[in-house]
Structure 1
Amino acid sequence: MFKALMKLLLLVLVLSLFGPIVESQQPTYLSHACLNATTFAINSTYEANRDVLLLSLSSNGSRPSGFHNTTVGKSPDMVYGLFLCRGDLSISVCRACVTFAATDISRRCPVDTKAVVWYEECLLRYSDRNIFSVVTEAPTFLTYNSTQNVTQPERFNLLAGVLMNETARAANELTDGKRFMNGEVSISALQKLYTLAQCTPDLSVTDCDQCLQRAKGYLPTGRLGGRFLNPSCNFRLEMYPFYNLPSAVAAPEESKQNKSSQIPVLVASLSAISGLVLVSALGFLIWRRRNNQDKENCEEIQLLDLVNEHTGETLSGENVGKSQEFPSFRLDTLHAATNHFSDDNKLGQGGFGPVYKGTLANGEEIAVKRLSRTSGQGLVEFKNEIMLIARLQHRNLVKLLGCCLEKNEKLLVYEFMPNGSLDVFLFDSSFAAQLDWQKRFGIIKGIARGIMYLHEDSRLKIIHRDLKASNVLLDHRMNPKISDFGMARIFGEDKNDAITNRVVGTYGYMAPEYAMRGLFSIKSDVFSFGVLLLEIISGRKNNSSHFAENGESLLTFAWKLWSEGEGMDLIDQLLVGSCVASEVLKCIHIGLLCVQGYPTDRPTMSSVVIMLASDTISLPRPAEPTFPARRSEHASNDGVFSINEVTISNLLPR
């Protein structure tokens, strides 16, 4: 009973601190326009540039301003594009709308050089002409909600006119990066009128005012609402609340009443929340102390509960509503699959324990990780692996198939990667010849997409912290899959970096700020990716003895060659006959951008994906890379080649 109460208090604390999580949904379509005065040819340069631009807009959907504009390509095939999200919506809703729109617009307007699409949540447009900081008043989208007249039309029209003017003025005067405002006014004891006005933030004050004044003129008077949209601004008038924020503009006679009535409610709410958080925190501390006294038994129970939550099965295999998403495996099934975990089937040894190859009765090959009793990673990490990896679904991440908890065994089951890990092919001369340039370029792009998913597109914002060649597995087609989330950390949407006193990872791949000060962020992963990219091109380890003897690193060696115009001298000699020089030099350039000393100078992974996909984007000049002067005492050695080595992940802050 006591434990149940403490869990309830802890849940209340978490909910009070972080609020509800809302799953993104498909945006509500309103209208679109394909301005096909001119069209482009299939497989043309313009089409390629447009596709890259749409990818770029999609990858920037998380901007706090809800607005982004960019160009791709060079004249005459340059494409201009932008998106604008409704100013009251969350970053996640904005991102979902932009991501959907970037695909939807090319379906609705497949060969048009100009197009715009509107949704309830956002608009997205592109053109072959400059559309930035220019008022565009056509095409327009206008709807009236009803032809029914309101009661007291004179009062309605007067208040509607005042409210629309005030909302437009307030939106135009904002300096917070958004040109958005909503407002409300009472038109009777039982009815209120609501408005919303918004411009694209790139417009000048004069141009925004011009656009909104024109929009106001189209809206109906004496009717129950309507909306006006064009590519530069929008205005909406309704008899019901349709936005998420509290009203920002109110009738003067209501302002004092609203403020005085809200203060006691706010104070009472804060007092209640503070008391609840305090009680919950004290309850959690008591619960944790008692929990530690009986840690083994409690963790075992939690694990059983967790597996049953995910699988809907008991460990004996009885089906009680089985989930197809994350199944439980019977121990006897895994014994049979691995020949009782024989040494002949052993693939490798990780921090978690040994990894075995197995074959199920249906012929499917699997990799089974077995928690060692002497492992430094235990039940909590095992639980976190289930909670984290089971939620990650991407073609460039290794897939967790299920788990097993029987007779003191703790096993994780993964898809089997027949070609092992990337380090085997890069750094073993007997295998390296199997990776020609096209395979290596495909591996580079696949790794970039996987890390971008972790940082920006998954339900969780994940920092891997140990990206290296031995943690990239290769399937039967040499497609890369990122593995080993034992060092991973999860960030909230509003958090970008953290500091740890326990620096873990592999020397040579660590960003300078992480190795020396324990500061890590998504840019730490970007640095590791840059090192890995240069290793893939050169076939050399960054921390190899060759570079150590010469007092440099692969990074400084690559920089010296590139800055002297001799970048092609960096490549693995096995690639000379198959490489495309322009692609190699672009990859070296991107790698050097990723390993710059200051995190703010490094690109995001979404930008890296775009740069890899485009042949026309101009890349900035990188600064000379720096690397840690000493090895962190906590850093692990990059040991022997690993095969299907996948360890566990930590969801909890360290």
Structure 2
Amino acid sequence: MRISTVFINLLVIVLSVLSPMTEAQQPNYLNHDCRNTATFSVNSTTYRANRDSLLSLLRSNGNHETGFYNTIAGRSPNMVYGLFLCRGDVSSGICQACVIIAAYNISQLCPVGISAVIWYDECLLRYSNQNIFSVLVEEPSFSMYSIRSVTQEVRFNQLATALVVMNVTATRAANAPSGSNKVATEEAQFSSSPTVYTLVHCTPDLSSSDCSTCLQGAIANLSDCCNGRQGGRVLKPSCTVRYDVDPFYGQTAVATPPPPTQEQETQNNSNSIIILVASLSAVFGLAVVSASGFFIWRRRNNQEHREHSRDQLLDMVEGRILNEHSTETFSAENVGNSQEFPSIQLDTLQAATNHFSHENKLGEGGFGPVYKGTLADGKEIAVKRLSRTSGQGLVEFKNEVMLIARLQHRNLVRLLGCCLEKNEKLLVYEFMPNRSLDVFLFDSNLAEQLDWEKRINIIKGIARGIMYLHEDSRLRIIHIYLKASNVLLDHKMNPKISDFGMARIFGDDRNQANTNRVVGTYGYMAPEYAMEGLFSIKSDVFSFGVILLEIISGKKNNGFHLSESGESLLTFAWKLWSKGEGMKVVDQLLAPSCVVSEAVKCIHIGLLCVQADPADRPTMSSVVVMLASDAMMLPSPAEPASYVGRAVAEPTESSSNDGVFSINEVTASIFSPR
């Protein structure tokens, strides 16, 4: 156990001795957020010192009689604003214990976050470099619901009761006198439904109108997330709402206890000081002994961890760690010399990316964010940072290292190295200054930069890259995860295929396989893969056909049906092509530069690639020949499949709040327009 954790736990024990109202329980963690905020450099001692000073001030005022306290630390431009709010029914001892643990944990969960918020059942704590006092803040927003569902008979009545009662309760809380605790509770029963208990709470510094706005938004989110559940809540930085069929608040939830008399306060303070000095002396002694042992252990552990990480990387590249998607066992002989593929130290990548600062973030990939970095010699790189807690992410990490490290083609993004240190999994790629194809293709302003010549070159480059994977590389590789956002563009707008985390490896004698782990983006997946888990080289051909039609039309296949009479882009293109009106598919921005014969041929090839039967689709080598030839006769395509695949989710990064919930609740994010 880390020494700081020992100290915090012992301090909570001390507080439980000092306050007879404190219950013997740890605060119930709910969620936190610091992912979407800017970060400060670990070398930025001024802001860190101010942040730490602020957290110390919040801890020392955790027993504030109102359960709410805000303060600042430092001076501009490194000033830090912070506050905490405890639930209206918790005792001062529980409140202070919650604030102490929240202040410690937020500094551990968000070590370089310029702003952050953490929620517990008993309190919330926030800090920021911007003024957050008397300011309504509704994002980030999270919903949580009870895993226990209710019967259909009472489902409507229960939620309806909760929402009606909450709206009345919200008005009462919002209209509370300025500076008072803006919290209100109510219980009610409708028809044969069980009694519903509700609680709403705003930070007391909000105006009545801002409190009402926050609570009404939270109640609306509650109706979206929690229908059919016995309980639910929505967490926002400025307010929270909750309902349940079981009582969860005490009788003092809406009452602020009267302040003690001067005589009582003097006597309590004298007793508290005596107990505090004795208790902290014991804690300090234990801390000194534990700290000595901890730092000796840490130095030894870091050295062992770095050596283990280097060995693990060599095992991975040389094929001694088997790829879960592979159908072969690879040896160092058929994969290559591991010395060709470098391991890059963590501190080098931290310095290059300014410690993975928000300003350097390029985007969010399927299994983690991607950051721009600049090495000491001026070379620009892109660093994919896989989730620290995702077991799934480790599979994709192994896959990328084993595959793309050994692939060399001008239309595949180049992997420069990787890092396995301190529970980090980092992949380092060549930097693509023009980002991904979808950024240009589906933006009406940027799409003008993709004239016909650039688009046809991008189509041909993608085709060559896939053909290399299927036929010309030392291994037969099925990408599986082809889509416009996984096609990167270099400074000359040349395409490079990326993201090999989901790729499959086939032996020379295998053409098809199946999986029960279907992961991808609906709209790019071949129907046989989406519905049956079957994949082959023809699955990639289908995805290529979708990308080709998107490049020609400037429209996304995914979601196209929402604006075009329920049709997919594929069906829409096929109907127009069948009627001899294929040019109506072409993006109007291409009118000045488009070569009609090439455009019609590309649409024809795209339709051949997206046919329902994989056997009818051409191979990628045939596609490359078709694109290069002006005289080749092409077969007529069949109508693309219209199918509804099973529910398939984008691969997601396991964030700090994934899977963290109490026994009776699970967490779901609510993303609102910014």
Give the structure-2-normalised TM-score: 0.47
TM-score (norm 1): 0.48
